Amino acid sequence: MNVPIPGEIDRRLLNDRSVSGRIGVRMPDLDVPEQPLPDSGLLRSVPAHLPEVSQPEVVRYFTTLSRMNFSIDTNFYPLGSCTMKYNPKINEEMAFLPGMGGIHPHQPDETVQGALQLIWELQSDLGEITGLPGVCLAPLAGAQGEYTGLMVARAYFADRGETARTVALIPDSAHGTNPASAAMAGLDVITVPSDSDGNVNVEALRGLVDERTCVFMLTIPSTLGLFEPNILEITSVVHEAGGLVYADGANLNALLGIVKIGDLGFDIAHSNLHKTFSTPHGGGGPGAGPVLVSEELRRFLPTPVVERTGDDYRLVAPPDTIGRVNGFHGSFGVLVRAYTYIRAVGVEGMREIAENAIINANYIRSALSGEFGIAVDRICMHECVLSPQAQKAKGVSALDISKRLIDYGIHPPTMYFPLIIPEALMVEPTETESKDTLDRFIAVMRQINREIEEDPDLLHDAPHDTPNTRLDEAGAARNPYLHWRPEQNSQAAD
């Protein structure tokens, strides 16, 4: 045992706490006669080296770890493009009802009518909210929804014999998943430039669309948090060239009840339920990324979707389905949470979500535009992008500002994205934060701005009071240390 240090957290790994003979849970006794074992060549010769810890140790260990996290339940978390809104507790309770959390995916349809009805209702509600009536809830995350949507586009063109349509046009401000998914779908990626206002350069787009265009993928609202003013022109430019328009609607928070993306000419979209529809992020998943399409594309959706005949609900494969993209019917537990949320919010609450999200983002934008540059300083939707280049000139980066926010108990905004904005800090407050919280955030940002003048090292060395100060990420990548090793038995070099 090392010499204890006051304030130090005991972070030894489970295998370093393991004591032979301890157990964390008692298993039932074998209640049938022992059966003959197979050929020993098939059997494990050494047991898996799992830790041996008692139940109280398990609980204390994981509880201690949990307290080293920032989370929505404990901190303001204005992480742009991620929509870290409050995750209602009732969602969790509903997802873990035995009749929801305990049912087997292979059960015959007639034994899971309640689950299938829930899926059908959610399909309908999402179709109504987005104006894209063909909905499949199977994709397990936004990126999978994206890939699925692109496969639908390819199947549609294959069906029409337009096999030369192999280009995905993607704005330079897009998320990395867009080009990555397009590449998986066998599409060549051509980048569409943005204009100085952060909008799609429509003239450039006009020059790029042709008979090879499969899709134009557009994030809406844009990754700058702006609503594309030329949206109707953009969708018609693509349609005139025979292409489809894909909405990366990962984040629909600013659009609920404000506009249906289907009305704007989008043909395909995906939406992340773990953003707009309040399901928890869980430290990096699980998500759910339903794919939504126009009536014309519906028959190509992945399998399964739920169909209703009278009061009977069935899992079916759409007639020209692109096939199966994951093991079962999607992240059902996430779907239950999203459905619970939509029912709690109701028709009257949808627009209220978007309005409050937009007001909150603009409130921050207008308050901070003086001290911190705003990438494109016009009215924004659910988020705004700061570009603190004046601070950078004084030797303080967006990273330093982010790390200093941690000292004030605020999770950093999304940094260095979108790539086209220097020193980008993307702030998305969401509708579930109060004016008080925003006022404090604004005050903290102003104070940080003063600290840059008075004591910039406060920022360079931040954060100060977290379980770890800044980590050596270069060292981690140069010498990958990726799992427990026996020799690792001390947690502090000093």
Partner 1 sequence: MTTPGDRKYSDEHEWALVEGNIATVGITQYATDSLGDVVYVDLPDTGATISQFDKFGEIESVKAVSDLFSPVGGTIVEVNTGVADMPEKVNQDPYTVGWLLKIELADPSQLDKLMDATAYDNLTAE
Partner 2 sequence: MTTKASPYIPNTDAERELMLAAIGVRSIEDLVRDVPAQHRFPHLDLRPALSEFDLTAEISALAARNATPGEYACFLGGGAYRHYIPSVVKSVVARGEFLTSYTPYQPEVAQGTLQVGFEFQSMICEITGMEVANAGMYDGPTAFAEGALMACRITRRQTIAVLDTVDPRNIAILDAYSRHQDIKIVVIGRDDDLPEDAACLMVQSPNEYGVVEDLAALAARSHTSGALAVASVNPTSLGMFRSPGECDVDIVAAEGQALGVPLSFGGPYVGLFACKDVYKRQMPGRIVGRTTDTKGRVGYALTLQTREQHIRRERATSNICTSTALIGLLMTTYLAALGREGFRQVAELCYHKAHYAAAEIDRLPGYSVRNDGPFFHEFVVECPRPPAEINTALLDHKIIGGLDLSDRTPNGMLICVTEVNTRAEIDRLVSALAEIGPR
Q: Any contact of residue 363 with partner 2 (CB under 8 A)? A: yes
Q: Smallest distance, Å, CB 211 to partner 2? A: 19
- Compute the C-alpha angle 402/404/407, nearest 5°: 125
Q: Contact positions toward partner 1, by CB under 8 A?
A: 473-474, 477-478
Q: Is 86 in the site for partner 2 (CB under 8 A)?
A: yes
Task: Using the minimum distance from each CB to partner 1, give the nearer residue, 284 or 480.
Answer: 480
CB 299 within 8 A of CB 318: yes
CA end-to-end span of the chain, whole Å?
Answer: 13
1 binds partner 2 (CB under 8 A): no
Give residues with Cβ within 8 angstroms of 264, minimum separation 6.
Answer: 220, 231, 232, 235
Q: By CB under 8 A, name the one of 192, 358, 376, 459 that touches partner 2.
A: 358
458 binds partner 2 (CB under 8 A): no
Q: Which is nearer to partner 1, 3 or 477 (CB)?
A: 477
| Beta-carbon count within 10 A of 302 CB | 26
The rounded Cα 195 to chain-centroid distance in angstroms is: 27
Characterize the bridge pairing of strands 268-270 and 244-248.
parallel
Of 89 and 478, nearer to partner 1 (C-beta) is 478
Rule CB under 8 A: is residue 429 a binding residue for partner 2? no
Q: Residue 382 binds which entry of partner 1, partner 2, none, with Cβ cut-offs from 5 to 8 Å by kind?
A: none
Contact partner, 489, from partner 2, partner 1, none, Cβ < 5-8 Å per class: none
Q: Which of 122, 132, 182, 424 binds partner 2 (CB under 8 A)?
A: 182
HSE (side-chain half, CA atoms, 13 Å) at 281: 18
Is 92 near partner 2 (CB under 8 A)?
Answer: yes
3-state secondary structure of 374: strand
Is there binding between residue 391 and partner 2 (CB under 8 A)? no
174 by Cβ neighbours in 10 Å (0-12 / 13-18 / 19+) ranks as buried
Q: Contact between 408 and partner 2 (CB under 8 A)?
A: no
- For residue 292, the minimal CB distance to partner 1 (Å) is 33
Cis geometry, peptide bond prior to residue 418 (ω within 30 degrees of 0) = yes
Residue 2 binds which of partner 1, partner 2, none (CB < 5-8 A, kind-dependent): none
Whole-angstrom Cα distance, residue 136 to residue 144? 12
Count residues near partner 2 (CB under 8 A).
207
The neighbour count for residue 483, using CB atoms within 10 Å, is 8
Only segment of 64-72, 201-209, 390-398, 446-454 that touches partner 2 (CB under 8 A): 64-72
- Work out which of 136, 146, 267, 459 binds partner 2, going by CB under 8 A: 146
Residues 6+ apart with CB under 8 A from 76: 409, 410, 411, 429, 433, 437, 440, 441
Residue 420, interface with partner 2 (CB under 8 A)? Answer: no
**Is residue 447 classed as helix, strand or coil in its secondary structure?**
helix
Taking the least distance from each CB to partner 2, the nearer of 356 and 389 is: 356
**In this structure, what token pair is assigned to residue 298?**
């519906």
Question: If we measure between CA atoms, which residue out of 117, 135, 115 comes closest to residue 126?
Answer: 135
For partner 2, the binding residues in 225-264 under the rule CB under 8 A are: 226-229, 231-232, 257-260, 263-264
Q: Minimum distance between the CB of residue 269 and partner 2, rounded to whole angstroms?
A: 15
Report what 86 binds from partner 2, partner 1, none; CB cut-off 5-8 Å by kind: partner 2
Quick one: what does residue 98 bind among partner 2, partner 1, none, with the CB cut-off 5 to 8 Å set by partner type?
partner 2
Q: Does 477 bind partner 2 (CB under 8 A)?
A: yes
Q: Judged by CB under 8 A, does residue 339 bind partner 2?
A: yes
